[in-house]
């Protein structure tokens, strides 16, 4: 008889899916069901258990989008099932090919303890390992009707325009809002609608809207363990067989074993013949792996986006479901290890589901539940500011230490959209030794050359790093994935070890018993890598010991994908930028007031506000890639954060200024939170001042105007464009002949997929210059109520359905023209940029990143260079030649592009453009519609130190309050290149002063830090404010501290005040 491999594989697929898998739960009896529809936002468990349930039945439709229904399931185990394992099997209407992203449920017992979750590929609930027979079964299932946002309409269109991500209109206004965390669980009155009313009618009042789901299965069933194991045997061998070379002996041996096993299965008596089939497979499963087989550390994992295609409040429940699942799985699988990487999610669990949190803590003591990652959330690391990244480590690591007694040593960021080059130093200063991501495998142009390597940051810090070659953080440990991990591993010549994160994320419920069964069979199986279930703390030391001299990657890890995340959802990005700077201001002035006046330091308020801002730096919120619900809530949250922080700043400044309420026109004290002096006010200090630097008056010239302050001369033509920017001191024109700057350009912006995420290179093929102006006029004073003081040139443009109004101003003594821009934006699938062509032959651009800057080539010589056609810069981007350059500084823009061309006259034009606004339509069809106000400035004749200084000044404006007091800064530094980023009181409430600073110019520097208060001692600390050994960076020197810093070195000092 001739073998037919294709026929056997097809036979195996059909028998497995149509006969064997269903036979795992072949013996069933139905469960009775009742329902209570929550009329509004989710409610506490106790309220749901006490609710009045109404009749329901299998096949009922339920769940308008974002609603919650509680199902009470009742049944009795048949007496003839005594001694058998019994489970409930519940299908809430999953009906999807995705492991998550749709409806989910969490089952509770009648006493309110959580059992486990129900997910599309995890539908069982444990009843009894060995039933007594006749016992009653009662479950309460909290079912969430989350819409499938990614696939919509009758054709299940991917990335289609949909309103599914809007906050449901039937939700009571304000229900579940908590002023920032956005994770409301109801008001405790049992009706969930936020109004305190009584919805005690049986079954509740179903919310308005079309039901999305239908109850498909509600059974008590015998769990046939032998059939289950047979399914896993065939699953593993079948997948391995398909991955082996067609002519390999091992493949044909497995093929024969599978044929024999299938022949032994009676499809009308699967349970009775499964054991015989398993015996036929046993020899194939017992063959050991080769001695040099690749080794895989399988780490249980569930990547849960803290918000994305669902609101923050839903993530609270996703976390509870997943943790309930994995802790239940740990009960029966002591070898199972599961990592959880976002401290914020565990904090939510502690607050809202303490019984599930207690289970996590219990399993942490057994070494099965492993807090990891070291961060508060998994943040975006392109856009997030430096001090915020510090606090991500501080609050993440501190939570794990206080709640679990664990000092995490890894940074786990599998899904973030690129990684800035300051991170290795930050990790090192936080006590982190290892870094993991797999996102760079999403590159669309270049394949990253390593999977295990040392990552070197801008200061020279190196971190041992690993990119799982499985190219997934949601692996199911399938044969295809395990084989791909080995084939794809780039470093196999020197090492044979990699990591695979396995488990369904984002509502899939995490790892499953089927995955653990695969891992057990793949532990030592011929033809397969060896798989061990273990944690990162076991993998990384072994990988490092095995690879003592790995290759080195220097600089940023740029993701060649998702470039649009630097611009999408401008209000979210602006809210973050302003909150970051206000937090630094609030700490600075509160610490100053505490030492100078004895004012109380607002520890609790600052802690809460920092955590709120850190949460919103999650890598699908700050990048602008979440549904409308998330971003509208974020806008409200940032507004509240801004209000609170301004109150803290104002309270501290008034206490310091000593001027009382003050009268209009009376004496004022000007506070300067920037790290550089300006206008006679010291850095981080305050001084009385009569007025601000005046803005120069525009002088008519031709059809336009000239702004001239004796340092630079700016010419604005009748189109409202800058046609000349002349550096009077250098005697040099900044613009190329015939070119115009501050040219707004509109591009069609419809990427091939991932709308809010991506800007595809072909966007450059279509451009419209917005050179026409409706109005170009001089103004003096406030311009038409736009809150713009001073004098300047006002330009109004309209295009499509949108309007732009800009005010161009030049201050006395300044080298930059400031451009205050208000956009009423109503375009669709468009990208708005502002272009500044410069007469500069720049070999590279210099862009600010956290705690430093990076240089990127302006050419596209290689595919690596060409792929960086949209890049990130924080407060500034600079281009120049030796001795002269120019910069753009901004208050809320991150996306930039830089191109270079040679003109017919032989000169070189380097063009820098800011990406101001986008209008993608998925997942938020109303992205960025409406009014925006943003500011940027064109700095003429600037070197990098000038760009650094002006970037800080634009983002940390002076603030004036009534008074006459002069406020000396708590600390002063005598070198401009040493930038102080944080002055605050220590978190331990000791009253010690924490100062964080860094070398900003990229060169070695010796400086002196001088406190203005008596200091008993100075201690170098890590980011968590714990003492560390001094590496010679600082030493006491008279009343000050001598600093010797390497390029871009970050230093944190604890100054202990001298006390009576």
**Residue 451 predicted with pLDDT over 90:** yes
Instruction: List Cα–Cα distances, 415 to 381, 383, 386, 802, 944, in angstroms.
Output: 11, 15, 20, 35, 32
pLDDT digits (tens, 9 = 90+) for 1019-1034: 999 999 999 998 889 9
CATH of the structural domain 970-1060, one choice from 3.40.50.300, 2.60.40.2220, 2.30.30.60, 3.40.50.20: 2.60.40.2220
Phi, psi torsion values for 90, nearest 5 degrees: -130, 120
**What is the structure's pLDDT at 969?**
98
pLDDT digits (tens, 9 = 90+) for 831-854: 999 999 999 999 999 999 999 999
**Residue 97 predicted with pLDDT over 80:** no
Neighbouring CB atoms inside 10 A of 179's CB total 12
Tokens of 871: 């890049």
Residue listed under structure tokens 């978190």: 987
CB contact set of 36 (below 8 Å; sequence gap of 6+): 48, 51, 52, 53, 54, 69, 70, 72, 203, 204
Of 90-99, 169-178, 430-439, 575-584, give the lowest mean pLDDT range.
169-178
Question: Cis link prior to 439 (omega < 30° from 0)?
Answer: no
pLDDT category at 4 given cuts 50, 70, 90 is confident
Is 534 within 8 Å of 337 (Cβ atoms)? yes
**Rounded to the nearest 5 degrees, what angle is found at the Cα of 924, between the Cα atoms of 920 and 926?**
75
The residue ranges of every structural domain in the chain are 5-17+231-286, 31-222, 295-557, 565-656, 699-960, 970-1060
Q: What is the DSSP string of 984-998?
A: EE-TTSS-PEEEEEE
**Residue 785 predicted with pLDDT over 60:** no
CATH of the structural domain 31-222, one choice from 2.60.40, 1.10.10, 2.60.120, 3.10.450: 2.60.120
pLDDT digits (tens, 9 = 90+) for 605-625: 999 999 999 999 999 999 999
Region 699-960: CATH code: 2.70.98.30
pLDDT category at 152 given cuts 50, 70, 90 is confident
Residue 569's Cβ-side half-sphere holds a number of Cα atoms within 13 Å equal to: 34
Is 906 within 8 Å of 926 (Cβ atoms)? no
CB contact set of 993 (below 8 Å; sequence gap of 6+): 591, 595, 970, 971, 983, 984, 985, 986, 1011, 1013, 1054, 1055, 1057
- Please state, in angstroms and rounded to a whole number, the distance separating the CA atoms of residues 264 and 118: 34
**What is the structure's pLDDT at 788?**
58
Q: Which helix (H) or strand (E) holds 539?
A: helix 536-546
Nearest alpha carbon to residue 966 among 589, 657, 659: 657
Nearest alpha carbon to residue 726 among 734, 717, 736: 734
pLDDT digits (tens, 9 = 90+) for 967-1006: 999 999 999 999 999 999 999 999 999 999 999 999 999 9
Is 825 within 8 Å of 928 (Cβ atoms)? yes
pLDDT category at 736 given cuts 50, 70, 90 is very high
Q: Does domain 295-557 have CATH number 3.40.1190.20?
A: no
Chain mean pLDDT for the chain: 95
CB-neighbour burial class of residue 600 (10 A; exposed 0-12, middle 13-18, buried 19+): exposed
User: Can you give the C-alpha Rg of the chain in angstroms?
Assistant: 31
CB-neighbour burial class of residue 33 (10 A; exposed 0-12, middle 13-18, buried 19+): buried
Strand partners, 104: 144
pLDDT category at 100 given cuts 50, 70, 90 is confident
- Please state, in angstroms and rounded to a whole number, the distance separating the CA atoms of residues 883 and 905: 22
pLDDT category at 98 given cuts 50, 70, 90 is confident
Helices in 303-451 by DSSP H: which ranges?
312-332, 343-352, 354-365, 386-404, 423-429
- Please state, in angstroms and rounded to a whole number, the distance separating the CA atoms of residues 605 and 998: 27
Average pLDDT of span 686-693: 89
- Please state, in angstroms and rounded to a whole number, the distance separating the CA atoms of residues 636 and 634: 5
Tokens of 940: 């003429």
Report domain 565-656's class: mainly alpha
Average pLDDT of span 212-237: 98
Angle 5-15/225-243 helices, nearest 10 degrees? 150
Is 325 within 8 Å of 515 (Cβ atoms)? no
Strand partners, 412: 436
Catalytic residues: 415
Neighbouring CB atoms inside 10 A of 242's CB total 17
Phi, psi torsion values for 671, nearest 5 degrees: -100, 135
Q: What length does the chain have?
A: 1060
């Amino acid at each position: 008889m001739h073998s037919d491999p294709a026929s056997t594989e097809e036979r195996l697929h059909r028998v497995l899916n149509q006969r064997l898998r269903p036979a795992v739960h072949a013996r069933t009896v139905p469960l009775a069901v009742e329902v209570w529809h929550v009329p509004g936002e989710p409610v506490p468990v106790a309220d749901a258990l006490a609710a009045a349930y109404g009749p329901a039945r299998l096949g009922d439709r339920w769940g308008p989008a974002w609603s919650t229904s509680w199902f009470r399931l009742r049944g009795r185990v048949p007496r003839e099932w005594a001694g058998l394992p019994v489970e409930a099997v519940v299908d809430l209407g999953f009906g999807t090919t995705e492991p998550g992203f749709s409806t989910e449920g969490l089952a509770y017992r009648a006493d309110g303890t959580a059992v486990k979750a129900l997910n599309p590929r995890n539908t069982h609930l444990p009843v009894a390992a060995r039933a007594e027979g006749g016992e009653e079964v009662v479950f309460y299932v909290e079912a969430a009707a989350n819409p499938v946002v990614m696939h919509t309409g009758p054709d299940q269109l991917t990335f289609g325009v949909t309103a599914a991500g809007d906050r449901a209109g039937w939700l009571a206004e304000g229900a579940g809002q908590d002023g920032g965390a956005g994770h409301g669980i109801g008001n405790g009155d049992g009706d969930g609608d936020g109004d305190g009313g009584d919805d005690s009618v049986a079954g509740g009042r179903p919310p308005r809207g079309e039901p999305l789901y239908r109850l498909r299965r509600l059974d008590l069933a015998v769990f046939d363990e032998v059939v289950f194991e047979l399914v896993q045997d065939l699953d593993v061998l079948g997948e391995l067989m398909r991955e082996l070379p067609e002519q390999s002996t091992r493949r044909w041996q497995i093929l024969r074993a599978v044929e024999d096993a299938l022949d032994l299965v009676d499809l009308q008596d699967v349970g009775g013949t499964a054991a015989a089939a398993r015996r036929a497979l046993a020899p194939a499963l017992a063959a050991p792996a080769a001695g040099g087989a690749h080794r895989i550390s399988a780490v249980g994992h569930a990547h849960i986006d803290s918000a994305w295609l669902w609101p923050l409040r839903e993530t609270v429940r996703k976390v509870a479901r997943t943790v309930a699942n994995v802790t239940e799985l740990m009960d029966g699988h002591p070898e199972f290890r599961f990592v959880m990487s976002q401290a914020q999610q565990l904090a939510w669990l502690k607050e809202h589901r303490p019984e599930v949190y207690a289970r996590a803590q219990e399993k942490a003591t057994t070494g099965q539940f492993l807090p990891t990652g070291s961060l508060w959330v998994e943040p975006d690391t392109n856009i997030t500011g430096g001090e915020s990244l510090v606090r991500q480590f501080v609050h993440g690591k501190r939570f794990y230490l206080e709640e679990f007694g664990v000092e995490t040593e890894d940074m786990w960021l599998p899904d973030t959209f690129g990684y800035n080059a300051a991170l290795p130093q930050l990790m090192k200063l936080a006590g982190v030794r290892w870094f993991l991501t797999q996102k760079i495998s999403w590159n669309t142009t270049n394949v990253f050359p390593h999977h295990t390597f040392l990552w070197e940051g801008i200061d020279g810090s190196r971190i041992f790093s690993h990119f799982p070659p499985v190219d997934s953080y949601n692996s199911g440990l399938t044969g295809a994935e395990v084989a791909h991990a080995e084939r794809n591993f780039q470093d196999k010549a020197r090492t044979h070890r990699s990591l695979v994160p396995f488990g369904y994320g984002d509502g899939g419920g995490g790892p499953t018993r089927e995955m653990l069964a695969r891992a057990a069979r793949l532990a030592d199986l011929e033809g397969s890598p060896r798989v061990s279930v273990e944690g990162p703390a076991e993998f990384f030391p072994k990988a490092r010991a095995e690879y003592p001299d790995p290759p080195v990657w220097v600089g940023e890890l740029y993701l060649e994908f998702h470039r649009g995340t630097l611009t999408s959802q401008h209000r979210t990005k602006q809210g973050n930028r302003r909150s970051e700077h206000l937090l630094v201001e609030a700490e600075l002035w509160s610490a100053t007031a505490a030492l100078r006046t004895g004012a109380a330091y607002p520890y609790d308020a600052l802690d809460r506000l920092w955590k709120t801002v850190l949460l919103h730096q999650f890598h699908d919120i700050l990048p602008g890639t979440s549904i409308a619900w998330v971003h509208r809530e974020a806008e409200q949250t940032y507004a509240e954060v801004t209000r609170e922080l301004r109150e803290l700043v104002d309270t501290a400044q008034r206490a310091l200024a000593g001027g009382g309420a003050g009268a209009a026109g009376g004496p004022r004290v000007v506070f300067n939170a920037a790290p550089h002096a300006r206008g006679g006010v010291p850095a981080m200090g305050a001084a009385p001042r009569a007025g601000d630097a005046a803005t120069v008056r525009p002088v008519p010239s031709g059809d336009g105007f000239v702004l001239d302050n004796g340092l630079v001369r700016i010419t604005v033509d009748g189109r409202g464009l800058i046609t000349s920017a002349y550096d009077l001191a250098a005697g040099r024109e900044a613009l190329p002949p015939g070119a115009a700057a501050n040219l707004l350009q509109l591009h069609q912006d419809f990427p091939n997929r991932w709308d809010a995420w991506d800007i595809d290179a072909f966007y450059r093929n279509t451009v419209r210059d917005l050179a026409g102006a409706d109005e170009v006029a001089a103004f003096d004073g406030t311009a038409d109520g736009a809150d713009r003081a001073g004098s300047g040139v006002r330009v109004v443009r309209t295009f499509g359905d949108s309007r732009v109004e800009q005010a161009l101003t030049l201050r006395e003594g300044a080298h930059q023209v400031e451009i205050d821009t208000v956009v009423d934006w109503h375009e669709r699938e468009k990208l708005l940029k502002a272009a500044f062509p410069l007469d500069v032959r720049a070999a590279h651009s210099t862009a600010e990143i956290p705690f430093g800057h990076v240089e990127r080539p302006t050419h596209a010589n290689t595919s690596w260079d060409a792929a960086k056609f949209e890049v990130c810069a924080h407060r500034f981007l600079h281009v120049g030649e030796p001795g002269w350059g120019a910069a753009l500084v901004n208050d809320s823009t991150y996306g930039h592009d830089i191109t270079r061309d040679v003109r017919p006259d032989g000169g070189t034009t380097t063009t820098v453009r800011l990406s101001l606004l986008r209008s993608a339509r998925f997942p938020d069809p109303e992205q960025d519609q409406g009014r925006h106000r943003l500011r940027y400035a064109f700095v003429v004749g600037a070197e990098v130190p000038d760009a650094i200084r002006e970037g800080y000044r634009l983002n940390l404006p002076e603030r004036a309050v009534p008074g006459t007091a002069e406020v000396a800064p708590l600390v002063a530094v005598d070198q401009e290149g040493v930038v102080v980023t944080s002055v605050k009181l220590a978190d331990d409430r000791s009253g010690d002063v924490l100062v964080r600073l860094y070398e900003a110019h990229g060169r070695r520097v010796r400086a002196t830090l001088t406190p203005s208060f008596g200091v008993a001692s100075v201690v170098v600390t890590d980011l968590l404010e714990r003492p560390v050994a001094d590496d010679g960076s600082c030493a006491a020197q008279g009343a000050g501290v001598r600093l010797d810093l390497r390029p871009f070195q970050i230093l944190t000092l604890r100054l202990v005040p001298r006390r009576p």
